[in-house]
A and B are shown apart, each in its own frame.
Chain A
Amino acid sequence: MYQDLKFAASDGVCAGLSPVSGALFKKFCPRFIDGFAVTIELLVLSSILGFLLAVSLVLGRMSGRAVLSWPANVLVYCFRGTPLLVQLWIVYFGIGSFGADGLGALWVFFKNPWAVGLLVLVLNTSAYVSEILRGGLVNLDKGQMEAAQSVGMSWLTAMRRIMLPQAIRIAWPAYGNELVLLMKGSALISTITVLDLMGQTRTVFARNFDLNTYLYAAVFYLILAGIITVFVSVVQRNFSKSRLS
């Protein structure tokens, strides 16, 4: 149902673009738009889920309790220290090779390349974002935490209301950078059969061997990078406004 809706939408977009598109693009337009939609979908979901996980990770890492900070540190170290491609293949082909018998109910999840791609993107980006947030937090004056706790706030409340909002402001430009890197990294999920923008582009290229196919893909990625850049700077501007008031 949702899938049909997406297909109908991209057919509509292609019908709209058709007067201005060249022969190559016209022929394969629905593939490009289908892929673009999958890339946007994965990017929105993985950045939101990744951010939430990153906040949990950074709280764990800063908590000062080994039972929380150790697992968080190990996860961040592993996902920052290995290539995204390796992570994708280990999770998709490696864990996937256990099949329905080995994974039981989890197989419903691991069977689906889109879900595996999303999981790895979320874990990967959360590792980087937690490091970015940690950078913001350690730059804050420790006295703020002490002051907050001395007026009766718990450590978690102080983090939530005093420390993290400031850390996010400090870290925002670096976070915007990570969003663009995430977008570029997402192209790798085409290697686990997800037909994202890159996957569709490679499929189109396989049918015409025209290198301009990749130029079209580049234009779509640039459009996406433009949207991310605008989003990041609009949020940034709102930060400065609320700081003045």
Chain B
Amino acid sequence: MKKTLMGASLAVLAMATTSQAQDVLRIATEGAYPPFNNVTADGELVGFDVDIAKALCAAMERECEIVAQDWDGIIPGLVNNKYDAIVASMSITQERLEAINFTAPYYSNYLSVLGKEGSDLTLEGLGDVAIGAQRSTVGSQWAEDEYGSRADVRLYDTNPAAVSDLEAGRIEAIVMDFLPAAEVLNTTSGLGYIEAKIDINDQIGIGIRKGDDELTDAFNAALETIRADGTYEAISVAYFGTDIY
């Protein structure tokens, strides 16, 4: 029974993969993760990831189309051939490597824990209070691994939703990536660090469908090109004032 169902779903997948535009490279990003990727008021995708993706396309001399895709459907969308690559600050994890491939990392990530300004919570105390994280992120997995799968970890579809619940006081802390956390502190008042930087040995890569090794190689070569010619550094400095590679 299980095999039949799997067979049927594979057949559907196979049908979906038959037509693929070769010339335009389709790249997905989330669009709700400032300053890495975000949608402006007029619907334009902007951010570090978007600029890096454009620079990589220029280095590969390929025409690219960048689309926004909700975070928890972003890997299935790649697997089902809705686009060819994910440039969305995605951490390279064992669990994801079973579903997709990654290019070489294009920056390193750390985790931050945010709370209300003046909160006296410590990392040890987080297991006893309500904390938030975005579903399907390294932050949520870290919280689950650290505090147990039945700790009060609230999972949000986007980081801004979690921030609004922290501000409202529904949760006492948020676990999130460190650069977006710094951005949250810049743009929101009344919040502060509980822990500024947790090193979980996290590398950010570009997600590519399994078997698409040619594209992985092309992205890796392009990454080396924009590292060598200073394009990467210029983009990074423009966003963060420093080279985050």
Where the two chains meet, the residues of A that have a C-beta atom closer than 8 Å to any C-beta of B are 7, 22, 30-31, 34, 93, 96-100, 107, 111, 113, 191, 193, 195, 199, 202-203, 205-209, 211-212, 215
The reply to whether the CB of B141 lies closer than 8 angstroms to some CB of chain A is yes
Contacts of A207 in B (CB 8 A): 95, 141
Interface of B is mostly: helix
Given A96-B165, A100-B169, A202-B135: A209 and B95 interface contact (C-beta under 8 Å): yes
Q: Mark B120-156, 1 if CB is under 8 A from A, else 0.
A: 0000000000001001100011000000011000111
Given A111-B170, A202-B72: A208 and B155 interface contact (C-beta under 8 Å): no
Contacts of B135 in A (CB 8 A): 202-203, 206
Contact of B95 among A30, A93, A191, A208 (CB under 8 A): A208
Given A34-B150, A111-B169, A111-B170: A22 and B2 interface contact (C-beta under 8 Å): yes
Contacts of B157 in A (CB 8 A): 191
Contacts of A99 in B (CB 8 A): 167-169
Question: A98 — nearest CB in chain B belongs to which residue?
Answer: B168
The reply to whether the CB of B98 lies closer than 8 angstroms to some CB of chain A is yes
The list of the 4 closest CB pairs from A to B, nearest first, reads A206-B136, A209-B99, A193-B154, A99-B168
Contact of A209 among B6, B76, B155, B168 (CB under 8 A): B76
The reply to whether the CB of B5 lies closer than 8 angstroms to some CB of chain A is yes
> Is B169 a contact partner of A208 (Cβ separation < 8 A)?
no
> Is A199 a contact partner of B155 (Cβ separation < 8 A)?
yes
Contacts of B167 in A (CB 8 A): 97, 99
Q: Could you say which interface size class chain B belongs to?
A: 20 to 34
Question: A89 — nearest CB in chain B belongs to which residue?
Answer: B161
Contact of A212 among B2, B76, B96 (CB under 8 A): B2
- Additional A-B contact list (17), CB under 8 Å, known A93-B164, A98-B168, A193-B165: A7-B150, A30-B149, A30-B150, A34-B150, A96-B164, A96-B168, A97-B164, A97-B168, A99-B168, A113-B154, A202-B72, A202-B136, A208-B95, A208-B98, A209-B75, A209-B99, A215-B5
Minimum CB–CB distance for B94 against chain A, Å:
10
Interface-centre pick from A30, A96, A193 (highest chain B CB count, 10 A): A193
Minimum CB–CB distance for A243 against chain B, Å:
41
Contacts of A34 in B (CB 8 A): 150
> Is B76 a contact partner of A211 (Cβ separation < 8 A)?
yes
> Is A193 a contact partner of B168 (Cβ separation < 8 A)?
no
Report the bound CA distance from A205 to B95 in whole Å.
10
Minimum CB–CB distance for B164 against chain A, Å:
6
Report the bound CA distance from A98 to B169 in whole Å.
10
